[in-house]
Amino acid sequence: MKTIRSILEDPDAVKNVVVAYDLMEPNARAVTPETSLDDVMKLFGQLPVGEVPVVDSKDRTKLLGYITRRDVIHAYNKEIAKREMTLGLQRAYSSLAVSDLTELVDGYYLVELAAPRRFVGKSLLQLNLRNKYNVQVVLVRRANPGGEELKFVPDANYTINEKDVLILMGKRKDLERIRKL
């Protein structure tokens, strides 16, 4: 017994007794970057784990990282918030009269504005409306031969067309200023 105790008390003697290989799960389930979040969430439902390895699609021995249950829930929550915001914008837009200011909340308004000539051919990034005028483009309405196209929350690379009608959000004074362009 004294011999076993002396071995257990000596860190160098026991450091290789149990190694990661002894505890690893050799057939661990993994996902690839192309795996849908729905499939990842189903996997979390099947396994008692909080994270799953993400491996390369072509070389499944190459570990790229991990995805956690929290990551997936966060992504779902962001998507739900985005959809709710879009629905709210659609409701506000449907009640908007041309060029009227429609109050949203806490002093923020929506206004519909035909694209000023100086905006045509420029991207939202180039226009930098948020910094220059303190307004945000939340929707672009573009007339096409086949009907009207609505682009909710356009990205920075969206290029303004001469037929575009912009739906802007901001404070009243900022929207009034941009309407004068």
CATH number at residue 11: 3.10.580.10
Q: Does the residue 84 lie in any domain?
A: no
Question: Distance of alpha carbon 80 from its chain centroid, rounded?
Answer: 10
Least confident span in 28-32, 50-54, 69-73, 147-151? 147-151
Q: Does the residue 69 lie in any domain?
A: yes
Q: Does the residue 158 lie in any domain?
A: yes
Domain shared by 120 and 155, yes or no: yes
Into how many domains does the chain fold? 2
C-alpha 3/C-alpha 125 separation (Å) is 73
* Averaged pLDDT of the chain: 83
Structural domain including 160 reads: 96-179
Q: Give the burial class of 119: count Cβ atoms within 10 A of its Cβ; 0-12 exposed, 13-18 middle, 19 or more buried.
A: buried
Domain shared by 172 and 100, yes or no: yes
User: Average pLDDT in the 77-106 region?
Assistant: 70
Q: Supply angle C-alpha 128, 101, 127, rounded to 5.
A: 10
pLDDT tens for 10-61 read 666 666 666 777 777 777 889 999 999 889 999 988 988 889 999 999 998 8
Q: Which amino acid is at 122?
A: K
Domain shared by 148 and 115, yes or no: yes
Domain shared by 172 and 111, yes or no: yes
CATH number at residue 130: 3.30.70.1450
